[in-house]
Amino acid sequence: MTMDRALRLTAGIAMLILFIFGIWPSNAHWFWKAFLLFMSLNHIQSAFTNWCPVMTLYRKLGIKECCQDEKNHS
Protein backbone atom coordinates (compact mmCIF):
# COMPACT_ATOMS: atom_id res chain seq x y z
CA MET A 1 0.00 0.00 0.00
CA THR A 2 1.38 3.39 -0.97
CA MET A 3 1.55 6.44 1.27
CA ASP A 4 -1.28 8.06 -0.70
CA ARG A 5 -3.57 5.06 -0.23
CA ALA A 6 -2.68 4.72 3.45
CA LEU A 7 -3.57 8.37 3.93
CA ARG A 8 -6.94 7.85 2.22
CA LEU A 9 -7.64 4.83 4.41
CA THR A 10 -6.74 6.72 7.59
CA ALA A 11 -8.90 9.70 6.61
CA GLY A 12 -11.83 7.43 5.76
CA ILE A 13 -11.64 5.54 9.04
CA ALA A 14 -11.32 8.77 11.03
CA MET A 15 -14.38 10.23 9.28
CA LEU A 16 -16.34 7.02 9.83
CA ILE A 17 -15.55 7.10 13.57
CA LEU A 18 -16.58 10.76 13.66
CA PHE A 19 -19.84 9.84 11.95
CA ILE A 20 -20.62 6.98 14.30
CA PHE A 21 -19.79 8.71 17.59
CA GLY A 22 -20.36 12.38 16.81
CA ILE A 23 -22.98 12.90 14.14
CA TRP A 24 -25.31 9.91 14.42
CA PRO A 25 -27.11 10.89 17.67
CA SER A 26 -27.13 14.64 16.95
CA ASN A 27 -29.90 16.81 15.55
CA ALA A 28 -27.99 17.45 12.33
CA HIS A 29 -30.03 17.27 9.13
CA TRP A 30 -30.09 13.79 7.54
CA PHE A 31 -28.34 15.13 4.43
CA TRP A 32 -25.18 15.99 6.35
CA LYS A 33 -25.17 12.60 8.03
CA ALA A 34 -25.52 10.86 4.66
CA PHE A 35 -22.87 13.09 3.09
CA LEU A 36 -20.34 12.36 5.83
CA LEU A 37 -21.09 8.64 5.60
CA PHE A 38 -20.60 8.72 1.81
CA MET A 39 -17.31 10.60 2.15
CA SER A 40 -15.91 8.19 4.71
CA LEU A 41 -16.89 5.07 2.76
CA ASN A 42 -15.54 6.62 -0.46
CA HIS A 43 -12.18 7.33 1.19
CA ILE A 44 -11.95 3.75 2.45
CA GLN A 45 -12.83 2.19 -0.91
CA SER A 46 -10.45 4.50 -2.79
CA ALA A 47 -7.61 3.36 -0.55
CA PHE A 48 -8.02 -0.13 -1.95
CA THR A 49 -9.19 0.55 -5.52
CA ASN A 50 -7.32 3.82 -6.23
CA TRP A 51 -10.51 5.16 -7.81
CA CYS A 52 -12.47 8.19 -6.68
CA PRO A 53 -15.43 9.79 -8.51
CA VAL A 54 -14.03 13.28 -7.95
CA MET A 55 -10.68 12.29 -9.50
CA THR A 56 -12.54 11.12 -12.61
CA LEU A 57 -14.33 14.47 -12.81
CA TYR A 58 -11.07 16.39 -12.36
CA ARG A 59 -9.38 14.37 -15.12
CA LYS A 60 -12.25 15.19 -17.49
CA LEU A 61 -11.84 18.87 -16.60
CA GLY A 62 -8.16 18.64 -17.54
CA ILE A 63 -6.63 18.94 -14.09
CA LYS A 64 -3.24 17.21 -14.02
CA GLU A 65 -2.18 14.78 -11.33
CA CYS A 66 0.76 15.98 -9.25
CA CYS A 67 2.84 12.82 -9.46
CA GLN A 68 2.42 12.34 -13.20
CA ASP A 69 5.09 14.95 -14.04
CA GLU A 70 7.52 13.49 -11.48
CA LYS A 71 7.25 10.02 -13.03
CA ASN A 72 7.99 11.38 -16.52
CA HIS A 73 11.15 13.17 -15.34
CA SER A 74 12.66 10.12 -13.58
Could you write out the three-class secondary structure of 3-68? HHHHHHHHHHHHHHHHHHHHHCCCCCCHHHHHHHHHHHHHHHHHHHHCCCHHHHHHHHCCCCCHHH
Domain that holds residue 52: 3-73
Tell me how many domains the chain contains: 1
Q: Residue 44 pLDDT > 70, yes or no? A: yes
pLDDT band at 48 (very low <50, low <70, confident <90, very high): very high
Per residue in 3-25, pLDDT (tens digit) is 878 888 999 999 999 888 887 77
Mean pLDDT of 23-33: 83
pTM attached to this predicted model: 0.68
CA dihedral defined by 14, 19, 22, 28, rounded to 10 degrees?
140
